Amino acid sequence: MEALIYAYAVPEAIAQALKLAPLRRKAQINGATYYLLSSQDLQAYGIDRAIENGAVRMGLDEARQMFNHK
């Protein structure tokens, strides 16, 4: 019905660069630590740039599952 809203699982380095690591959920994916960021979080960094550097785009339901949203 409307354009989907996405979340992004980003490598730890991106979360640290944005100083968001203390504020965002994290999960271990394939042995690496990923943080869950919103598209708003990535505005300063650039979504395309984040994806080039290992960020993975996902839907909100998938994000909730993967990052064990309460």
Partner 1 sequence: MPIVYDTAQVVYSALSVSLSMDVLGGSMTQRRSMGGTFDPDRALFPLQLRPKLWVSDPDGIIPEGDQTNALVECKWYIGTDDTGTRIYGTEDDYDLGAYGEITIYANVLPTSPLDLFFTCSYIDPRNQANVIVKTWRVTLTSSQSAEIALSVTLDTADKDAFSPFKTTSSKRTITAQLHNGGDDVDDSDAYYSWYVLDKELKRYRDIDPETDLWYISGIGTKALTIDRAYVGSERLMCVGGILYSEDPTVPAPPPAPATTLSNGKKYTPPYGNYTARKMFKTFRFYGQYGEDVKLTKGKIIKADTSVVKAEAKVTNTRGNVANPSKYFDIRHFTTHKYAGAAQVTVGYGNEVTVNANECSRNPQDPTVFGCEIRRLSEFRGITINGAYLLDSNGKKICAQVPDE
Q: Could you tell me the smallest distance in angstroms from the CB atom of residue 4 to partner 1?
A: 9
Which of residues 5 and 31 has its CB atom nearest to partner 1 in the complex? Answer: 5
Q: Which runs of E-coded beta strand occur in 1-70?
A: 6-11, 26-29, 32-38, 56-59
Among all chains, which residue has been given the structure tokens 């080039």?
Answer: 52
CB atoms within 10 A of CB 69: 11
Considering only residues 22 to 51 of the shown chain, the ones binding partner 1 according to CB under 8 A are: 23-25, 36-41
Which of residues 25 and 57 has its CB atom nearest to partner 1 in the complex? Answer: 25
Residue 63 interacting with partner 1 (CB under 8 A): yes
